[in-house]
Homo-oligomer: A and B are copies of this chain.
Amino acid sequence: MTDTLRLGIAGLGTVGVGVVKIIQRQADLLTARTGKRIEISAVSARSRDKDRGVNTAKYGWEDDPVALAVRDDIDMFVELMGGSDGPAKAATEAAIAAGKDVVTANKALLALHGQELAVAAEARNVTLRYEAAVAGGIPVIKALTEGLAGNEITRVAGVMNGTCNYILTQMEATGQGYNALFEECGRLGYLEADPNLDVGGIDAGHKLALLAAIAFGTRVDFDAVALQGIQSITLQDIRRAGDMGYKIKLLGVAQMTGRGLEQRMTPCLVPASSPLGQLEGGTNMVVLEGDSVGQIVLRGAGAGEGPTASAVLSDICDIARGIRLPTFGQPAAHLKAAPPASAASPAPYYLRLTLKDKPGALAKVATVLGDNGISIDRMRQYDHPDQDVPVLIVTHVTARPSLDAALAALPATGVVEGEPVALRIEDV
């Protein structure tokens, strides 16, 4: 006789429907691999009547996901509603308190409340997993937590928001500006209800904070992620970066430094020929670096019904197989808060500024940079007679505080029009 693992699934949107489809279509395969029959006891969503393209009539129904989470006939609660608070959090807490394992795809929930949820789960001796929350179908939580368990992790980096990468690579491919592509993404359904979660880097920042907690054995600390969105990137930036052999990516980097834990999710220039530089469209890529393994690169679909559901099933199968790990790889009660790095590690920077057409304008800018200890690698002034002049500067390796001081001092020169753009050049 085969044991049964009984699920309660809250949320029947893109991901939830994907999970139901796999469980229905691959029932025998899942049993062969896990030794258990994986069955859905009951589901919950907002609207009971919506046609979702899957038959859920044989499952129990709860209007309230909290009621679903504590049902006697479920062993595991699968949270696929989304949102860092509200019903997702309440139902997850209720499931843990009722002694149910929890699988979720919810990066916002984990990035903001992961520590307390993990402590609660471990105290109650249940498992809380979230492979789908980071980089969709790529099994990156597993690779980092288990596959590289023998390594001291030195750096984690990646492109983890497909929408931003789609916008940036389409700007280059089509010559359209940011706004046109932002609107296209809205029409295509590529944007979250609050688009700032995507283009502001928040969603990708949540993912980075989760990877950093696992990598460095520290408490997840989303507030310490330095965030910068892609809204200020122009087609000109992309073209000029290209001329110099770079691509612009919304790049997450987490590394432990002598000054504390550095976490950033910001637009960066990366070498056009690197794996990250070659990443097109909505695909995600995560780079994991360890003291023994060197560099591992993982690439795949970061979102969408099938890939995300695949990751949810990975967690479900793990638990069915008896694979039970603490949420962040180490017991949550032992995790310490990492001191956030006071500033990003030094790097070369790409600067774009617009100079008023005044004599000596460039010299004034160069002086401000020099006064702040910033040395210039390359500079290019575009020739627009009788107009404001765009100037591009690539610096040598620069400490971020020096750069900030220079940027703060520029307005007083009276020759700079508008806000300068400063993008880090990352060697990854």
Contact of A148 among B139, B147, B292, B294 (CB under 8 A): B139
Q: Is the CB of A137 within 8 A of B330?
A: no
Q: Is the CB of A150 within 8 A of B26?
A: yes
Tell me whether A58 is interfacial, beta carbon within 8 Å. no
With a CB–CB cut-off of 8 A, which chain B residues contact A307?
292-294
In the complex, the count of this chain's copies comes to 2
With a CB–CB cut-off of 8 A, which chain B residues contact A217?
29, 32-33
With a CB–CB cut-off of 8 A, which chain B residues contact A143?
139, 142-143, 147
With a CB–CB cut-off of 8 A, which chain B residues contact A94?
none
With a CB–CB cut-off of 8 A, which chain B residues contact A151?
26, 310, 313
Tell me whether A156 is interfacial, beta carbon within 8 Å. no
With a CB–CB cut-off of 8 A, which chain B residues contact A297?
297-300
With a CB–CB cut-off of 8 A, which chain B residues contact A292?
18, 22, 137, 306-307, 309-310, 313
Q: A22-B292, A324-B322 are in contact. Are A313 and B137 (CB under 8 A)?
A: no
Tell me whether A426 is interfacial, beta carbon within 8 Å. no
With a CB–CB cut-off of 8 A, which chain B residues contact A275?
275, 278, 299
Q: A33-B329, A137-B294, A296-B298 are in contact. Are A314 and B147 (CB under 8 A)?
A: yes
Complex Cα spacing A175 to B294, Å: 29
Complex Cα spacing A324 to B318, Å: 10
Q: Is the CB of A323 within 8 A of B33?
A: no
Tell me whether A34 is interfacial, beta carbon within 8 Å. yes
Give 26 CB contacts A-B under 8 Å: A18-B292, A30-B149, A32-B217, A137-B293, A139-B143, A139-B296, A142-B142, A146-B146, A146-B318, A146-B321, A150-B310, A150-B314, A150-B316, A275-B278, A275-B299, A290-B310, A293-B301, A293-B307, A293-B310, A293-B311, A294-B300, A294-B306, A294-B307, A296-B299, A321-B325, A322-B322
